[in-house]
Structure 1
Amino acid sequence: MMQENYLAKWLNNELTEEELSEFKKTEGYASYVKIKEASNRMKAPDFKVDDAWQEFQNTQRATTQKVIPLNPYKQFLKIAAVIAVMLVGSYFYLNSLDVTYATQLAEQTNISLPDASEVVLNADSKLSFGKKDWKKQRKLTLEGEAFFKVAKGKKFTVQTTLGEVTVLGTEFNVAQRDGFFKVSCYEGLVRVDYNQQEYRLAAGNSFAVIDGKIRQQTNSVDAVPAWLNNESSFESIPLKYVFEELARQYDIEVIYQEDIDSKALFTGTFSNTNLKIALESISAPSQMSYTLSEDKVLFHGKDAH
């Protein structure tokens, strides 16, 4: 009966620190917490304390029925009934929420969608979708970068703040960062809606908007995005975005002095697993030098001191 007694006291915030520590070790604690959190989000009906108290007093005066205290078992049944109501409400509430996945700096994650489509989420990115309506509408919201391998079926849409990507079943990559939007098609056909215009990409093609300027490239993509092979690849991309991706992949602060032209275009690749090699891959072709500390790198001109 320990768990039942602890549950009653926990719901009333009456557990001591020692009892709370023991209760957290029980098998059902995690479920109770989720139920309690969901129930707290539900709006309770209006309740007037004074009127309720007056009604209670009137009832007490009018009845002569003997009050029999609940024994621990009956008290547990009462609590179980309350929990049952909370479970039903929580089920409908939780199933109406979006499912969200997010990665931190220097992190990637693999996601399986309800229709067996597969997603790989790059560093510092977030993906969300409505699980309840997924069968009716395969629609996701992306912040950051992700590679999609879409199972055949109904229309599949990826929304970003800069543009929308629509497919029926294919493999493609979407990158959306501040001032940067790029879609690359690896298999099938992809439709990109940007600024009220529609663009169609066949396999081996990409569409990009960088600092508001549209770029369309043909036969510029490999079998899969470079970042899936632990590399970051760029083709005529301003150094500013190269520096940002370096910071994202290594969770490191990147600073550059005024003698570095952050708008200069960079073409090349850097490793996502070896920082020193990555720094050499960026600095050498751009004729820069760098100074590396524990959690910071400073880029500067060759002649800077």
Structure 2
Amino acid sequence: MQENYLAKWLSNELTEAELEAFKKSEEYATYQRIAETSKELRAPEFDREKAWERLQASKESQESAKVITLSPFKAFLRVAAVIAVLLTGAYFYFNTLDETITTKLAQNREITLPDNSEILLNAESTLSYNEKNWDSKRAIKLDGEAYFKVAKGKKFTVSTSQGTVTVLGTQFNVEDRDSYFEVTCYEGLVRVTFNGEEFQLPAGNSALAIEGTMKKSKVDVNGKPSWVNNESTFKSIPLKFVLAELQRQHNLKITLENIDENQLFTGTFSNSNLDLALKSISTPLKISFKLEGNKVLFYEESAP
């Protein structure tokens, strides 16, 4: 990034080409958040006239008062007010700044939290938390899927767009995708809030909501989600969710031709071997596929 980009950006002097280059820099996201936060700040109310009157009355009550020039003092008060706003803004910004971690398609990432809790973030997912205030509030925001090994301690909360999971210390998996929300407890006990309903989920149990309808099932106690071992497993899940996961794990663009995307699929596909994954889906459904680059077409075997 050119050294003068920041100054030119703040004064709206960047050309279109310079602005595009600046947006691609690592620093841009942070500068953007600071700018947005500053817009919401308001200077504290300060009545200069009343302050001036009080000061003048105080000076007149003292017989030995010296004659001074007050215009510079008024200017000083304005500068002090601006400094107070800036200091308040800086404190507010840096104390609410979240650590955000994002994975791309076909990418997983391991995360260690300040209390040594461990997270494995699945492909195309985003996770954020406040590292500065972690000791007082263990709270995670999740969009996507993650497997958690939570160290014992204060309440640990995972918030998603569809539901909330609360634990003290345990191992569990949370997936929050479009119209798909699943929580699986492998160790200990978790508390789940979904659609205003709160329930407990002991180890060896899973709760899955597809398009708002919740169902519960059993899993292996002290197990792990299959994706941790580079596999994706499904049991009676609509095909469209299976193919969405296939796209995430292999960075694909999938299209269907005369295929019912709502038919149920039970099976497993590899997250590391694309050819095997395609055959694992197409064979049991008796459909065919055509792969060109990163594009896949699924179609009926009887089609020409």
TM-score by length of 1: 0.71
2:80 maps to what in 1?
A: none
Closer, same or farther: CA 105–35 of 1 in aligned 2, 3 Å: closer
Counterpart of 1:230 in structure 2: which amino acid? N
Change (3 A) 1:39 1:295: closer
Counterpart in the other structure of 1:143: 143
Report how far residue 39 of structure 1 moved. Answer: 8.5
Contact preservation (8 Å) 2:239, 2:265? yes
Conserved in 2, the CA contact under 8 Å of 1:206 and 1:220?
A: no
Do 2:108 and 2:122's aligned partners in 1 also have CA atoms closer than 8 Å? yes
- What stretches of structure 2 of length at least 5 have no aligned partner? 12-25, 45-85
Match of 1:157 in 2: 157
CA distance in 2, matches of 1:157, 1:221: 22
- Partners of 2:142 and 2:272 lie apart in 1 by 25
d(CA) in 1 for partners of 2:220 and 2:173?
13
Shift of 1:297: 0.2
Change (3 A) 1:88 1:243: same
- Equivalent positions of 1:189-228 (< 5 A) are 189-219=189-219, 223-228=223-228
The corresponding residue for 1:264 is 263
Distance 1:213 1:219 in 2: 19
Retained in 1: the 8 A contact 2:226–2:233? yes
Q: Match for residue 16 of structure 1?
A: none
The two structures have a TM-score, normalised by structure 2, of 0.72
Amino acid at match of 1:244: A
Partner AA of 2:223 in structure 1 = A
Write the distance in 2 (CA, Å) between the matches of 1:218 and 1:36.
45
Q: Determine the C-alpha separation between the residues in 1 that align with 2:128 and 2:32.
A: 24
Q: Say if 1:290 and 1:39 are closer, same or farther in 2 by CA, change over 3 A.
A: closer
CA distance change for structure 1 residues 300 and 37 in 2, over 3 Å: closer, same or farther? Answer: closer
Q: Distance in 2 between matches of 1:144 and 1:112?
A: 18
Q: Deviation of residue 196 (structure 1)?
A: 1.5
Structure 1 residues 191 and 122 mapped into 2: Cα distance closer, same or farther (>3 Å)?
Answer: same
Where in structure 2 are the equivalents of 1:7-46 lying within 5 Å?
42=38
Q: Amino acid of the residue matched to residue 234 of structure 1? A: F
Structure 1 unaligned regions, length at least 5: 1-5, 14-29, 47-85
8 Å CA contact 1:38, 1:94 repeated in 2? no
Q: Is the 8 A contact 1:39 1:89 kept in 2?
A: no
**Identity of counterpart residues, as a percentage?**
49
The residue type paired with residue 232 of structure 1 is S
Distance 2:295 2:193 in 1: 38
Q: CA RMSD for the aligned pairs?
A: 3.6
* Contact 1:39-1:90 at 8 Å conserved across structures: no
- How many residue pairs match? The answer is 252
Q: How is 1:67-82 mapped onto 2 (pairs within 5 angstroms)?
A: none
Aligned residue number for residue 273 of structure 2? 274
Aligned to 2:248: 248
State the shift of 1:161 in Å.
Answer: 1.0
1:131: how far off?
Answer: 2.3
- Deviation track 1:11-38 (CA, whole Å, cap 9, x = no partner) reads xx9xxxxxxxxxxxxxxxx99xx89995
Shift of 1:113: 1.0
- 3-state DSSP of counterpart to 1:262: coil
Could you say which residue in structure 1 is the equivalent of 2:69? none
Letter of the 1:125 counterpart: S
**Match of residue 65 from structure 2:** none
3-state SS of paired residue (2:284): coil
Do 2:191 and 2:199's aligned partners in 1 also have CA atoms closer than 8 Å?
A: yes
CA distance in 2, matches of 1:194, 1:176: 12
Specify the code of the residue in structure 1 equivalent to 2:279. E
Q: How far 1:93 moved relative to its partner?
A: 3.1
Question: In the alignment, is residue 232 of structure 1 matched against residue 236 of structure 2?
Answer: no
Are the structure 2 counterparts of residues 221 and 302 from structure 1 closer, same or farther at C-alpha, using a change threshold of 3 Å? farther
Secondary structure at 1:284 match in 2: helix
